[in-house]
Amino acid sequence: RAEVVGLSVSPKDDYLLSASCDGTCRLWDVRSDACSGFLRLPNKDSRPLIAFDDTGIVFAVATANHTGNGAVIKLFAAADHDRGPFQTIKVPDEKASLATSIKFSSNGKYLLLSGGSNACFLIDSFDSCVVCEYRLPANSSSIITDVTLSPDCKYVI
């Protein structure tokens, strides 16, 4: 048992998803004391990022790539998470491995990977590709802490 570093609540039912520093994610039914699902991630030294989509049908788990070059996002069907991910998305930019947040857009088509660096990534969750990358100027000492998409998915804020 390690420190919990992320929680995501399903908007569909009484489930929570937790992420721990030991590279595990657990699915919890809040009506029970016991864990109802368990995922051991390949990179146990990575700090997982987690998010449910707005329907509660899909959740994402992002980790730094075990090679240290970029991030890997795995998409799971909440009802069949024990079958493994149905989609894997690789974000090869080294800044992606520093991300501290992952979010789905309201329509589920996009993922935002951000925080921890001067870059954030808009990812097409259907086509598994980076659609756009936003970066602060290279001479800036600032880092992006959080981003979101407008409800109509037209603007990154």
Question: Is the distance from CB of 122 to CB of 130 less than 8 angstroms?
Answer: yes
Q: Report the pLDDT value the prediction gives residue 89, as an integer from 0 to 100.
A: 96
pLDDT digits over 10-63, tens only? 999 999 999 998 889 999 999 998 898 999 987 777 789 999 999 999 999 999
Q: Report the pLDDT value the prediction gives residue 34, as an integer from 0 to 100.
A: 86
Q: Which residues pair with 91 in a beta bridge?
A: 71
Backbone dihedral region for residue 52 (phi beyond 0: left; psi -120 to 50: alpha; all else: beta): beta
Q: Report the pLDDT value the prediction gives residue 43, as an integer from 0 to 100.
A: 73
Question: Is the distance from CB of 40 to CB of 49 less than 8 angstroms?
Answer: no
Mean residue pLDDT of the chain comes to 92
Q: Report the pLDDT value the prediction gives residue 5, as an integer from 0 to 100.
A: 92
